[in-house]
Amino acid sequence: MPGGGHPLDVATRLEPQREGLFRGETSSHYANMVGPFGGVIAAKVLNAVLLHPARLGEPVAFTVNYAGPIADGEFAVEARPARTNRSTQHWTVELRQKEAIAVTATAICAARRDTWSSLEASFPSVPAPEALPPHSVAGRPPWTRCYDMRFVKGELDFSPGAQERDSVSTLWVRDEPPRPLDFLSLVAIADVFFPRLFVRRPRWVPIGTVSFTTYFHADAAMLAAVGAAYVLATARAQQFRNGYFDQSAEIWSPAGALLASTHQLVYYKE
C-alpha cells in the first residue's frame, strides 16, 4: 500500500486482514483543514462493504457518523453483514484508529428490479460547465484540488461584505484528474459542498459534519454511463440552530438523471 492509480483509488484502497476487517491509510491528497476530507472517509467506509466477499447487490442507503477526529496514518475498517434478506442486505461498519471508534456507519445494499419509476425533483436551470470558470483553490485545503468545481451559485467568498441571502450552492463538479463515476466517487462528491454556514455567514469557525446519509437512486450501470463527465450538485440548509445545521443536496447526471439525494447534520461553534 498505497500503490499507484487515481488519487481517489489510492485513498480508498483497503487491505484485507480477515473477513470483513481491512487496513487503510489516510491520503495527503484528500487532507482537509483538520484531518481528512469527510467525503473520502465515507468512500473508504463504503468500500469495506463493497469489497466484502458476502456482499449482495448495490448500495441504496448509506449513513456515516463522524464520531471522532482521524489522525494522519493507519486505520482499521470492519464491515459486518447484520442481516441478509432475499433482496436486501443490512451492514454495520466501524472505522477505528488505535482502538478508538472514529466512524460508525450503516449501509443497505439491494438487488434492484425494473419497476414503475418517476422523477419528481427538478433539474436546476444552469449554464454548461464549460461556460463557467474553475473555482479558485488558493488558500483552500488540499482536497479541493482533487475536484474541478464550476460554481453556478453560492461559491465560498470570505471577502469583506460578502454575504448570501440563502445557503444554496449549485455547482458542476468532477474528480480531478477525471475518473469514471462509481459509488465511491459519488459518495465523496455528495460531501463536496463547503459548509452551508460559511455561505450564509462568511467567517471561519470550527465546524464538522456529525452525520451524513446518502440515498443512491442510480445503479452501477447508470454511474458508468456518466463516465468522467461533470455532475451537477446542489445543496441548501433548512435550519441553523444552537450549534447544528442540516444540509440537503442532490447530485444529478448531466443528462438530468437524479443519481443521489443526500443529507447531513453539521456541528458549528458560535
Residue 8 CB, nearest distance to a second copy (Å)? 25
Kindly list the distances between the CA atom of residue 131 and the CA atoms of 134, 137, 238, in Å, as whole numbers in the listed order.
10, 19, 30
Give bridge partners of residue 88 from the DSSP assignment.
110
Residue 255 CB, nearest distance to a second copy (Å)? 14
Which window, 37-45, 103-111, 134-142, 154-162, contacts a second copy (CB under 8 A)? 103-111
Which window, 13-21, 85-93, 136-144, 169-177, contacts a second copy (CB under 8 A)? 85-93
Which window, 38-46, 70-78, 174-182, 235-243, contacts a second copy (CB under 8 A)? 235-243
Q: 28-32 long-range contacts, Cβ below 8 Å, gap at least 24?
A: 28/72, 28/142, 29/142, 29/143, 29/145, 29/146, 30/142, 30/143, 30/146, 31/72, 31/141, 31/142, 31/143, 32/141, 32/142, 32/143
Binding residues for a second copy restricted to 184-203, rule: CB under 8 A: 200-201
Burial string for 115-132 (b: 16+ CB within 10 Å, else e) reads: eeeeeeeebeebeebeeb
- 117 vs 159 by CB, closer to a second copy: 117
CA 212, chain centre distance (Å): 8
Q: Which of 170, 181, 194 is nearest to 230 (CA)?
A: 181
Site residue total, a second copy (CB under 8 A): 62
Among 77, 237, 249, 251, binds a second copy (CB under 8 A): 237
The helix (run of H) or strand (run of E) holding residue 106 is: strand 100-110
Neighbours of 111 (CB within 10 A): 14
162 near a second copy (CB under 8 A): no
Residue 133 CB, nearest distance to a second copy (Å)? 27
- 144 vs 253 by CB, closer to a second copy: 253
166 near a second copy (CB under 8 A): yes
The alpha carbons of the chain give a radius of gyration, in whole angstroms, of: 18
Cell numbers given for 110: 439491494
Among 18, 118, 138, 160, binds a second copy (CB under 8 A): 118
- 123 vs 137 by CB, closer to a second copy: 123
CA 238, chain centre distance (Å): 19
**3-class secondary structure, 61:** strand
- 52 vs 135 by CB, closer to a second copy: 52
Cell numbers given for 36: 481528512
Residue 15 CB, nearest distance to a second copy (Å)? 24
Contact residues: a second copy, CB under 8 A: 60-61, 63, 65, 67-68, 82-83, 85, 87-88, 90, 92, 94, 100-102, 104-106, 108, 110, 112-121, 166-167, 200-201, 210-211, 213, 215, 217, 219, 236-244, 246, 248, 250, 258, 261, 263, 265, 267-270
